[in-house]
Amino acid sequence: MSRLVRFACLILLTVPAAEAAFVKQPYLQSLTDATVIVHWETSTSQTGKVQYGLTSSYGQEVSHSNSAVDHELTLTGLQMDTLYHYRAISGSDTSVDATFHSNVTGNRPFRFFAYGDDRSDSASHQSVVTRMLAASPLPNLALNVGDLTYDGSATAFRTFFNVEGGLMRRLPMYASPGNHDVSNMTNWLRYLALPNNERWYTVRYGNSAFHCVDVYSTYTPGSTQYNWLVSELQADSANPAIQHIFVWFHDPPYTTNAGHSSNTTVRSYLCPLFERFHVAMAFQGHNHCYEHSLVNGVHYILTGGGGAPLYTSWNAAQPWTVYREATFEAVVIDVNGDTVKSVGIKPNGTRFDSLLLVQHTAVVERPRSPVTSRLQATPNPFRDRVYFTLESTAPGPAQIEVCDALGRTVAVLTDRNSGAGHHVLVWDASDAPAGFYFCVARTGSSTAFTTLVRTQ
């Protein structure tokens, strides 16, 4: 063999595996009770695999043998309420170890984000996402109310994933199409892997149901989407495990912001369904601000402060108006048995518009527990000061949260005595308006409720 041939063979033998630099790091989509989708993009066509398991040693693997730049694999056999590790491998590239939490069981507590209108200003978008990543504990999933990008282009989506990557590799993000999204759905369908037809769909997590509505497809009575929504809401009502229903979509049916007016078609056709089936909260965007409205028992949370330029002009407040502010923000919602608590959080960590909802009639049968609590308030009705007496067999510090008739937190009282038994706390309500209040007491794993009336 000539020297030249031997040299050529040496080159062939030492060529490294093809580079497959990650254009989009692995991220999570469409979590179910037993599966989750992992999606990523590489700069060159490659095969791909995902290793996953209960530790960073993994132990399970799924792969595809065809070469592609867009990779999508489904992890199967997930155990409920479990922390998983995973990483993706394409060519010579291996992603960093990441973790996610599988679906929780029954009435186990969980958290989720609601946010949206992320387009156009990546710096402001990044400030919101950075604050979201600082949440402790990190929520289990996220609802995005739409307008992920300005024009749906591959370049715009790359900017979106550059900002969102650290969040989406740790929890699944479920998006509703916005007006800027529907202008180019090709990349929406390329980069996202959402349930059903990827425009309207249902997610069930823990004791809650989440319904995404596409207000840019037909949703009037008799349409495919309307009939689907009615069917899903009826299924929720028939399912004793579902205690809370949430919906999200892009256009607000109730808003006083001057950016975009209320979508009265949504108000006419969809809001009656929300009321009929006792939807707890409906999330929207479109206007780049935060606005909380309450209509016929449904809380409408406009959370459009995800990064797009703020809309700072307002029309007159309406009877439905609870709170409004032109600010960058995201909303954190805690679901714990029959209670739902939400709060807006700004990039600097400021919390605002705290809301607590209590479903007094639990639909899930729970085993009897030896842990009991009893909360009393005297005098009741009261004028300036009220005394709470909490008797509990559960050890741990006692906390009483006082909320007004709209569910907004007005006071939090704490007794740090960690022993079980007798707790006495005092609320000085001299600055609070007259009216109806309800109170939630927590100590250890036990919860108790009572109502108050403050007179003039």
Has residue 366 been placed in a domain? Answer: no
| Domain count within the chain | 3
Are residues 34 and 179 located together in one domain of the fold?
no
Q: Is 1 part of any domain?
A: no
117 and 62 in a single domain? The answer is no
C-beta separation of 37 from 73 below 8 A: yes
Do 135 and 153 fall into the same domain?
A: yes
Same domain for 197 and 124, yes or no, is: yes
Query: Tell me, what CATH number does 147's domain have?
Result: 3.60.21.10
Q: Tell me if 365 is assigned to some domain.
A: no
Same domain, 122 and 264: yes
Confidence of residue 161 (pLDDT cuts 50, 70, 90): very high
d(CA 317, CA 327): 17
Per-residue pLDDT, averaged over 412-429, amounts to 77
Contact 304, 287 (CB under 8 A): yes
pTM for this prediction: 0.80
Residue 122 and residue 71 share a domain: no
Share of the chain above pLDDT 70, in %: 89
Last residue of a domain, one of 54, 71, 101: 101
- In-domain check, residue 280: yes
Tell me: do 172 and 309 sit in the same domain.
yes
* Opening angle at CA 98, ends 105 and 131, nearest 5: 85
Domain assignment of residue 441, yes or no: yes
Give the closest residue to 425 by CA, choosing from 384, 376, 382: 376
For the stretch 100-143, pLDDT in tens is 999 998 889 999 999 999 998 899 999 999 999 999 999 999 99
Q: Are 238 and 329 within one domain?
A: yes
Cβ distance 420 to 426 under 8 Å?
A: no
Task: Supply the CATH number for residue 449's domain.
Answer: 2.60.40.3080
Backbone angles phi, psi at 371, to 5 degrees: -85, 120
Residue 8 within any structural domain of the chain:
no
pLDDT at 290: 98
- Domain of 283 in residue numbering reads as 110-358
Query: 78-82, 187-191, 408-412: which has the minimum mean pLDDT?
Result: 408-412
Residue 169: alpha-carbon gap to chain centroid: 15
- The residue count for the chain: 456
Task: Give the pLDDT of residue 450.
Answer: 78
Inter-CA distances, 344 with 25, 116, 290, 325, Å: 28, 13, 8, 11
- Given the structure tokens 């939400």, which residue do they identify? 342
The reply to whether 243 falls in a domain is yes
Task: Give the domain-ending residue among 101, 133, 164.
Answer: 101
What dihedral angle (degrees, nearest 10) is formed by the CA atoms of 7, 11, 13, 15? 170
Residue with token string 């497809």:
217
Q: Please name which of 278, 159, 264, 155 lies closest in space to residue 220, comparing C-alpha atoms.
A: 264
**Residues pairing with 392 in the sheet:** 373, 421
Q: What percent of the chain has pLDDT over 90?
A: 70
Residues 206 and 108: their CA atoms lie apart, in Å, by 7
What pLDDT sits at residue 20?
Answer: 59
- Residue 449 scores a pLDDT above 90: no
pLDDT greater than 50 at residue 12: no
Same domain flag for 253 and 234: yes
Q: Kindly state whether residues 391 and 428 are assigned to the same domain.
A: yes
Q: Using an 8 Å Cβ cutoff, are 218 and 224 in contact?
A: yes
* 141: in domain: yes
Co-location of 175 and 239 in the same domain: yes
Q: Report, as an integer, the average pLDDT of 22-40.
A: 96
CA distance 191 to 73: 13
Confidence of residue 421 (pLDDT cuts 50, 70, 90): low
The mean pLDDT of 263-285, rounded to a whole number, is 96
Would the pLDDT of 407 be above 60?
yes
HEC string for the chain = CCHHHHHHHHHHHHCCCCCCCEEEEEEEECCCCCCEEEEEEEEEEEEEEEEEECCCCCCEEEEEEEEEEEEEEEECCCCCCCEEEEEEEECCEECCCEEEECCCCCCCCEEEEEECCCCCCHHHHHHHHHHHHCCCCCCCEEEECCCCCCCCCHHHHHHHHHHHHHHHCCCCEEECCCCCCCCCCHHHHHHCCCCCCCCCEEEEECCEEEEECCCCCCCCCCCHHHHHHHHHHHHHHHCCCCCEEEEECCCCCCCCECCCCCCHHHHHHCHHHHHHCCCCEEEECCCCCEEEEEECCEEEEEECCCCCCCCCCECCCCCCEEEEECCCCEEEEEEECCEEEEEEECCCCCEEEEEEEECCCCCCCCCCCCCCEEEEEECCCECCEEEEEEEECCCCCEEEEEEECCCEEEEEEEECCCCCEEEEEEEECCCCCCEEEEEEEEECCEEEEEEEEECC
Q: What is the mean pLDDT of residues 232-261?
A: 96
C-alpha to C-alpha distance for 273 and 282, rounded to whole angstroms: 12
Do 141 and 77 share a structural domain? no
Contact 410, 436 (CB under 8 A): no
Band (29; pLDDT cuts 50, 70, 90): very high
**pLDDT tens-digit map of 111-121:** 999 999 999 88
End-to-end CA distance of the chain: 105
In the listed set 333, 358, 383, which residue is the last one of a domain according to the structure? Answer: 358
Confidence of residue 417 (pLDDT cuts 50, 70, 90): low
| CATH number, position 90 | 2.60.40.10
